[in-house]
Structure 1
């Protein structure tokens, strides 16, 4: 089996020698270039499994080399070496398509981790099946899947924007599963569901005896995700003091457990999401601008379901098949009138709402056929505000109608907070007592 080859591009002989020795011990062959011209010559001669390049070169910049390799050798991961503290430079490199970055002086442990991840990227399976909730052949979904494949090849932080229920966590999982960290943990955390007083312990862990109730050492989310991906869902809900600590952990690639004296080095890729407008949260000074720029190196928008109505039929079929497999019964089919009803609905809750709607209809339908009436959609809701004033003629019972809306909103809030009733109440602007009363009234306890 032929050895893997790395291209090292740096005009400093000491750095080249250090990288050559380290990569040689990892059983890699190396080729060295002192500038952009020599790097291009090497790339024309043979294929490379990895490229490490300095940011400043005598005849140009490392970013220029990133662009060159992206265009001509897109399967070759490029890592940038930058001066310590040049975070803006590193972020620009990631935006240009660099796989990852290192800072000088080069930490050899971090270098070995980066090289290992880059080489796993070369063998990662990019043809894995897409989650059924990311199905669809509409232009927005084809574009999204193409972007996911690109994002999986990078270690850059990605901010996933989109409405509630549109599939942001599914996109994050797909980025993880198609990338070099696929065999390592994917750790999702809903930032709005953790009580603020426990947040530091949850993220960074704690030492035994560090506070009342700390009866043993506990690993935090960063340590649990080490080598893999940490997905910060609803990141806009982080309180400002925690935002400062999170920023430091991301920048230093290390965390200090509560009550601990020493920092623990962690290697995690950060993906984040929120249904809120994060830029607006920054403007309103509820979210730190420096953390925003650190998380939002690359932004990926997930389209709402109403922008891809042509995908509803294939999504519904996949969901009904999954429901049938789960219940051990025959799959139901959508009657054409039900499909038309779904296609004209605005879906404020997006794919998650479609899934809940079909699950309810599957339970209610007769003869394994879902008709429009089984969807329990009134034309008043169905219009979604597009067809002028709401018509009361289509509402048989106002109390039942309002109760159904209340139930759907509460269920959505509970699902988004992983059934944390306190967090769901906060999201809905309710007191916990009021939330408890509504759950009991609606039979949702």
Structure 2
């Protein structure tokens, strides 16, 4: 059985004794030091699997020790012990490279959780030149994607809140999921939520849960997103869409590491890694007063930028082939390949919608191409209304072509178009007595395109 070793650095004998007893009971051997000088002497001869250091030490600052270990012993996670309420100090330590922090007076249950998470990180020493992607989520060989993979691998070793910035469709959730899967919380839940998709009146209940009977419609107890992510990662996508009232409550939950369900009188502790993202400029929103500066400070401990697809065009062919293989598997069709002129045309495109737009273009082309080959003409790029994926331009095109088809007022465009498509397919199938080959010919599409649409619409 492997024996773990931890270094405890604190000038208060009582704190050192408490930490030493707690870790010993967990089966961890301990080394202790009252100051930075003594700690560095021990570190020159040993490589402990964990370091716990007080922030205020007789001969310096705990952050100095964090920085030294980051440089000379990067495989050793460091947790900083801060004074109660010193959130600014805790954030400073996380920015310096600390794994996590714990506040005085030290809660032993919280300390044990921290230690167990840290020990999961000590399998191998990270290599600065390693750009592997073990989960296989971030595809590409460009320098930008290699740098991003390297950054996410390093950030996975920390518990610091990460703010992921990038355009819509660039893969922010994939980056968040990769951080989760490569970190010590990989066995816990990964809960992703689009903040802009939750009605403001339901936000508190969705995030923090509620007790049965706390409001009309609360027929059962509900955990909420924070408690559902306990022991894992909570990813808040489009965090800029949170209303100011909810921002205040979110800030308190982050600071206190506890939530109060609607209708409850007590707070419940939660242990989560918080990741957030938006395509908007949060710094500008702070200046405009629509996003709280204190919340921005808490979630933006480390910022990670996701490059747009137009900045890594060398990856387009690899991404496109991967997407086509996935589409073929999902719809149980033969795979399609891209001709060279199609590849060249994709590389010329600017992709304002990034990878999500590439997926939509290929999914459409997959159903239109002949002989399992997608040519440049099948891509329909830069021509016709709706090439940019805009709902308004699509609706305008339909209105001009078939003015009687589009009803007045607001509509769910996607659902409306699917209903028209479903009706047309049903009529073709009925007219051909459910002969799919004949129905496809009647509809003027390939047999594969019909199979694709039947599966997509759930009509099989």
Task: Classify the TM-score, shorter chain.
Answer: 0.7 to 0.9
Q: Is the 8 A contact 1:161 1:300 kept in 2?
A: yes
SS at match of 2:168: coil
Aligned residues: 401
Match of 1:436 in 2: 411
Cα distance in 2 for partners of 1:241, 1:331 equals 49
Match of 2:309 in 1: 305
SS at match of 2:328: helix
Q: Residues 325 and 411 of structure 1: is their aligned pair in 2 closer, same or farther, counting only changes over 3 Å?
A: farther
Match of 1:223 in 2: 227
Q: Is the 8 A contact 1:124 1:180 kept in 2?
A: no
Match of 2:55 in 1: 55
Which of the numbers 156, 159, 166 marks the counterpart of 1:162?
Answer: 166
Cα distance in 2 for partners of 1:296, 1:68 equals 24
- 1:37 is displaced (CA, Å) by 1.0
Match of 2:116 in 1: 116
Q: Deviations over 1:107-141 (max 9, x none)?
A: 11111110111112224999663434x21111111
Matched, 1:317 2:321: yes
Match of 1:173 in 2: 177
- 1:444 is displaced (CA, Å) by 6.6
Which of the numbers 381, 384, 389 marks the counterpart of 1:377?
Answer: 381
Matched, 1:208 2:189: no
Match of 1:32 in 2: 32
Cα distance in 1 for partners of 2:165, 2:412 equals 33
TM-score after normalising by structure 2: 0.84
Cα distance in 2 for partners of 1:32, 1:310 equals 51
- 1:326 is displaced (CA, Å) by 2.1
Match of 1:129 in 2: 134
Q: Is the 8 A contact 2:75 2:124 kept in 1?
A: no
Cα distance in 1 for partners of 2:369, 2:17 equals 71
| Pairs within 5 Å for 1:21-420 | 21-123=21-123, 129-132=134-137, 134-378=138-382, 401-402=384-385, 404-405=386-387, 408-410=389-391
Q: Is the 8 A contact 2:324 2:335 kept in 1?
A: yes
Cα distance in 2 for partners of 1:101, 1:151 equals 15
Q: Is the 8 A contact 2:135 2:181 kept in 1?
A: no
Q: Is the 8 A contact 1:124 1:178 kept in 2?
A: no
Q: Residues 369 and 125 of structure 1: is their aligned pair in 2 closer, same or farther, counting only changes over 3 Å?
A: farther
SS at match of 1:121: coil
Q: Is the 8 A contact 1:131 1:170 kept in 2?
A: no
Cα distance in 2 for partners of 1:176, 1:271 equals 9
Cα distance in 2 for partners of 1:264, 1:39 equals 36
SS at match of 2:20: helix
TM-score after normalising by structure 1: 0.87
SS at match of 1:5: strand
Cα distance in 1 for partners of 2:93, 2:324 equals 44
SS at match of 2:122: helix
Q: Deviations over 1:334-385 (max 9, x none)?
A: 111111110010000000110111111111111111100000112xxxxxxx
Q: Is the 8 A contact 1:282 1:288 kept in 2?
A: yes
Cα distance in 1 for partners of 2:349, 2:168 equals 16
Cα distance in 2 for partners of 1:341, 1:67 equals 48
CA RMSD of aligned residues (A): 1.9
Q: Deviations over 1:267-295 (max 9, x none)?
A: 00100001111111111100000000000
Q: Is the 8 A contact 1:125 1:178 kept in 2?
A: no
Match of 2:10 in 1: 10
User: Bigger CA drift: 321-330 or 206-215?
Assistant: 321-330
- 1:318 is displaced (CA, Å) by 1.2
SS at match of 1:148: helix
Cα distance in 2 for partners of 1:111, 1:35 equals 21
Cα distance in 2 for partners of 1:351, 1:21 equals 52
Cα distance in 2 for partners of 1:440, 1:35 equals 66
Q: Residues 411 and 352 of structure 1: is their aligned pair in 2 closer, same or farther, counting only changes over 3 Å?
A: farther
- 1:324 is displaced (CA, Å) by 2.0
- 1:58 is displaced (CA, Å) by 1.1
- 1:47 is displaced (CA, Å) by 1.6
